């Protein structure tokens, strides 16, 4: 008889963030370190290396532990789809540590209990995506306000050296190639072309 194994999944959005609290919580549940999969990637979709490896390893009868529903993902539709695949198709139990209602190991639940769990999952998934959309909207509004106040984003434009005019004229008269001109000015070929196009339009 197959004895189900315990797996854990942890995720942070950026390489600067730490997943320590998630790892401690998973270890306290008895998940072996070799069965804990970690991604440092946005939760907008499930195209994540560690998550994909984990899905390939889990088998019917196993249990997957996650700290909170937003560690699984932030896309409402995809969270529900992955939940269905794991629990219904792969027959693997899921335990969300921060939400005891989301524990599919409980075999003795009545229909009302299962309905409540399903509703909780949908609400939490919706909240996770709404929060992400709100953050994105707030960032876009902040950028718009900054631009309106004259703040510039991206790399500052490279200043043209004093000898540009002379080199440009030589290039325009056909006395020098664009690559030779860029080498003489010490800039990339595309930079010289951009400067030349700008000079021609004036």
Residues 126 and 172 in one domain: no
165 is catalytic: no
> pLDDT band for position 5 (50/70/90)?
very high
Residues 116 and 172 in one domain: no
Instruction: Take residue 177 and report the two structure tokens written for it.
Output: 């190639």
CATH code of the domain in which 48 resides:
3.40.50.1390
Instruction: Take residue 50 and report the two structure tokens written for it.
Output: 């560690």
Q: Determine the pLDDT at residue 33.
A: 94
**Among residues 122, 140, 144, 120, which one has the least CA distance to residue 132?**
140
Does 156 map to a domain? no
Percent of the chain with pLDDT over 90: 24
Q: Is a pLDDT exceeding 70 seen at residue 197? A: yes
Compute φ and ψ for 20, nearest 5 degrees: -55, -50
Compute φ and ψ for 66, nearest 5 degrees: -135, 150
Does 93 map to a domain? yes
pLDDT tens by residue, 133-178: 888 888 888 888 877 777 776 666 677 888 888 888 888 888 888 8
Residues 12 and 84 in one domain: yes
Q: Is a pLDDT exceeding 70 seen at residue 202? A: no
Rg (CA), the chain: 27
pLDDT tens by residue, 29-81: 999 999 999 998 887 778 899 999 999 999 999 999 999 888 887 777 888 88
Residues 90 and 180 in one domain: no
Containing structural domain, residue 168: 164-201
On the 0-12 / 13-18 / 19+ scale of CB atoms within 10 A, 151 is: exposed
Q: Is a pLDDT exceeding 60 seen at residue 107? A: no
Residues 190 and 111 in one domain: no
Does 154 map to a domain? no
Give first-to-last CA distance, the chain, whole Å.
Answer: 80
Does 138 map to a domain? no
**pTM of the shown model:** 0.60
Q: State the Cα–Cα distance between residues 199 and 166, nearest whole angstrom.
A: 12
Residues 190 and 104 in one domain: no
Query: Which residue is catalytic, options 13, 42, 125, 182?
Result: 13
Residues 64 and 115 in one domain: yes
Residues 170 and 120 in one domain: no
Work out how many domains the chain is built from and give that number: 2
């Amino acid at each position: 008889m197959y004895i189900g194994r315990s797996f854990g999944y942890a995720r942070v959005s950026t390489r600067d963030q730490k997943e320590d609290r998630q790892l401690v919580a998973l270890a306290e549940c008895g998940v072996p370190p070799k069965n804990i999969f970690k991604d440092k990637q946005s939760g907008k979709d499930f195209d994540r290396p560690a998550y994909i490896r984990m899905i390939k390893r889990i088998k019917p009868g196993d249990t997957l532990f996650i700290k909170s529903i937003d560690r699984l993902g932030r896309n409402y539709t995809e969270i529900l789809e992955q939940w269905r695949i794991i629990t219904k198709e792969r027959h693997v139990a899921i335990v969300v540590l921060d939400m005891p209602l989301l524990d599919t190991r409980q075999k003795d639940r009545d229909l009302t209990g299962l309905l409540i769990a399903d509703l909780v999952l949908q609400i939490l998934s919706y909240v996770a995506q709404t929060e992400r959309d709100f953050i994105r909207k707030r960032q876009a509004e902040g950028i718009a306000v900054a631009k309106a106040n004259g703040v510039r984003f991206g790399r500052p434009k490279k200043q043209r050296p004093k000898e540009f005019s002379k080199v440009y004229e030589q290039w325009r008269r056909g006395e020098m190639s664009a690559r030779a001109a860029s080498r003489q000015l010490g800039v990339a070929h595309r930079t010289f072309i951009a400067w030349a196009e700008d000079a021609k339009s004036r």
